[in-house]
Each structure stands twice: as structure tokens, then as C-alpha cells.
Chains A and B, each alone.
Chain A
Amino acid sequence: AQSVTQLGSHVSVSEGALVLLRCNYSSSVPPYLFWYVQYPNQGLQLLLKYTTGATLVKGINGFEAEFKKSETSFHLTKPSAHMSDAAEYFCAVRGAFGNEKLTFGTGTRLTIIP
């Protein structure tokens, strides 16, 4: 079974500051990891994903995440926050084998302070 824990249900950063959203996972098999973003009144959109290969993954809108197996983490970062980054962010995990479900974290709401 797989699960993810997102530390901090709400994060506020100033415009131009570093964004760091934390995600730790638990998985009994090699994991596939994802970050999704949800804007108000919309469905979720894929930001980036890690399956195999390079552990630093770059996504859309300047976001990136690094898979650290030793820390069971997949934190999301962006060097400089923009007002348009205000949204809810979800980390998700899926097992690498079989027809396994995608399990989402509880989400982190990012607020950007002008």
C-alpha cells in the first residue's frame, strides 16, 4: 500500500520568495510520484511526475521536485513565487507495479503575499 503526507495544510510566501511544499511518501514498492495543482473551481492539473531516471524533475510554471529515496520525500519547489501560483497543491503516489490506485495527499493551500 502507498500513502503520502503533506506537511502544512496552508503555506504563505511573499511574491518573489522561495516556494517549498513538503511531501513524504510511504510505499512498499518503488513509487511513482506526482504533484498536481488545483485552481479555484477547477479540476486538478499535473505539474510534474517522477517515474524512473533522473531524480530532479522539472514541471510546468517553473516548479520542480526532487525524489529522495533516503528521505522518502518528494518536495516541490519554485525559486520565485508569482501571484498566479496561489492554488492548492496535491502530492500523489502510485506503486510502480500492477494496476494500483493513485493515492493523493490532503493538499497544501499556497497563498502569495503581495
Chain B
Amino acid sequence: DAGVIQSPRHEVTEMGQEVTLRCKPISGHNSLFWYRQTMMRGLELLIYFNNNVPIDDSGMPEDRFSAKMPNASFSTLKIQPSEPRDSAVYFCASNIGGNSPLHFGNGTRLTVT
């Protein structure tokens, strides 16, 4: 079990650039979650998918944010254009659904200058 894999671990970009974060969930998990962690707001759920279908995207802050899950083994979170206030650690997590525990990746630390 390789765990949830996120890439890149660190991303530094300039304001206005497009940023794409990637996530590979644990094989067999059918729910996938994107969280953002900041000092000010803690852990915020951005969006989650069940069987590759977006279920709740009410946490996505703006239209600049979009997420896709084209298949069961891959998801992306895109920010276009990026802004300094998007700087945060973005976590991907997966589970087998229901109340099973979430398994988190190690996160992507995004810095927008």
C-alpha cells in the first residue's frame, strides 16, 4: 500500500500563473477529498468525489479553482490564475466511503509570490 501520493511536494509560482496539483488515491478507495490548510483557517474541505463524480464543491473558494477526477486513480486541482492568498498546504485524502478513515497524502506546499 503506497498510500495517497501527491505531487509536487512543493510549488513556488508567480501570481497569475496556472498551478496544477496532482493526487493518486489508494487503489480501491472510491472517495477522494481535497483540503486546504492555512494558519488562519485551519483545514478546509474544498471538494470531494465519490466514484469519480464531484459530490460537493461548495468549499471551492472561487471560479479560479477547479478539480477533476478523470478516473479512479487520478485527480487534479487547478488554480488559474493563482494569487498570493492561495498560498497554503493542499492535501488530498481518500477512503473506501462511508465512515471509513481518511488516508491523507503528505500535501503540496504552494507558495504564490
- Check if B56 is an interface residue, CB within 8 A of chain A: yes
Interface residues, chain B, with chain A CB atoms under 8 Å away: 4, 33, 42-43, 45, 48, 50, 55-56, 91, 93, 99, 101-102, 104-107
Supposing A41-B106, A43-B105 touch, asked if A94 and B45 sit within 8 A by C-beta, the answer is: no
Secondary structure of the B side of the interface? Answer: strand
A34: B residues at CB distance < 8 A: 101
Most buried by B among A44, A99, A101, A106: A44
A32 to chain B, nearest CB (A): 5
B84 to chain A, nearest CB (A): 22
A94: B residues at CB distance < 8 A: 99
Contact A43 B4 (CB under 8 A): yes
Please tell me the size bucket of the interface on A: 20 to 34
Residue of B55, B102, B107 near A99 (CB, 8 A) is: B55
B105: A residues at CB distance < 8 A: 43
Stretch at the interface among A45-53, A63-71, A72-80: A45-53
B46 to chain A, nearest CB (A): 11
Q: How many angstroms from the CA of A104 to the CA of B93 in the assembled complex?
A: 14
Contact A43 B93 (CB under 8 A): yes
B24 to chain A, nearest CB (A): 13
Contact A43 B107 (CB under 8 A): yes
B93: A residues at CB distance < 8 A: 43-44
Q: How many angstroms from the CA of A62 to the CA of B99 in the assembled complex?
A: 23
Q: How many angstroms from the CA of A28 to the CA of B99 in the assembled complex?
A: 17
- Check if A90 is an interface residue, CB within 8 A of chain B: yes
Supposing A43-B91, A43-B93, A44-B91 touch, asked if A104 and B42 sit within 8 A by C-beta, the answer is: yes
Contact A49 B91 (CB under 8 A): no
| Contact sample, A vs B, 29 pairs, CB 8 Å cutoff | A32-B99, A36-B102, A41-B106, A41-B107, A42-B106, A42-B107, A43-B91, A43-B93, A43-B105, A43-B106, A43-B107, A44-B93, A44-B104, A45-B104, A46-B101, A46-B102, A51-B99, A94-B99, A96-B99, A99-B50, A99-B55, A101-B48, A101-B56, A102-B102, A103-B45, A104-B42, A104-B43, A105-B42, A107-B42
B102: A residues at CB distance < 8 A: 36, 44, 46, 102
